[in-house]
Amino acid sequence: MNVSFLKPPIGGIIGLEMITFVEPLGLECVAGALEVAGHRCQILDLRLEDADQAMSKLRAFEPQIVGLQCNFTTERYRALRLAQRVKEQLPEVMVVIGGHDASRDPEWFVHPAVDVVAVGDGEEILPALATAVDRGQPLDSVPGLMLVTPDGPVHTGHAPARSELDDLPMPARHLIR
């Protein structure tokens, strides 16, 4: 299964992301876990890349899942605008939002352009989600999700916490060019 990750562009609001402009390590870690589970990944950092070119690369990769990172409250609206753009161009793709802010306040992301919010550690949640989608299993069987449904949000329970961080796969830094 192909999984793309998008880091939203920096906006006009001065927030922590302006001060801490670093590699998208969280996305690299989640992509590393997905690759170990047998999935193909792509990371597009819209802080550094033209949005139109990134969307062309996204379409060419043909992902089944697109993950958007929202670590800070100041990124929320940019993440939602990006989710809308993804859904306009790839309506069949599953849009997942994760990150610290999304985990802290998942209900804020109930929106027609968002299918799922990952609540917790993406290194555990996203491989389980991708495998469930790949096998046609029900998403409510995957812990750590908030599913956005027409009837409202559905929480699937807490994701398991990894007790040994040394067991995590290495970040997929090779995906950043």
pLDDT at 13: 57
Average pLDDT over residues 93-114: 98
What does CATH list as the number for 2-24+41-161?
3.40.50
Beta strands in the chain (DSSP E): 2-7, 40-45, 65-69, 94-98, 116-118, 145-149, 152-155
Strand order in the sheet with 65-69: 40-45, 2-7, 65-69, 94-98, 116-118, 145-149, 152-155
Round the CA-based radius of gyration of the chain to a whole number and report it: 15
Distances (CA, A) of 92 to 95, 114, 127, 160: 9, 12, 20, 29
Look up residue 19 and give its two tokens: 């001060």
pLDDT at 12: 61
pLDDT of 16 > 60? The answer is no
Q: Coil, helix or strand for 58?
A: helix
Ranges of each domain in the chain? 2-24+41-161
Residues 84, 88, 92: CA angle, nearest 5 degrees: 105
- Give the model's confidence band at 167: pLDDT under 50 very low, under 70 low, under 90 confident, else very high: confident
Which range (9-13, 24-28, 49-53, 100-104) has the least confidence? 9-13
Contacts of 36 (CB under 8 A, 6+ apart): 127, 169
CA-closest candidate to residue 77, choices 139, 24, 31, 15: 15
Report the residue count for the chain: 177
Largest separation between any pair of C-alpha atoms in the chain: 42
pLDDT at 74: 86
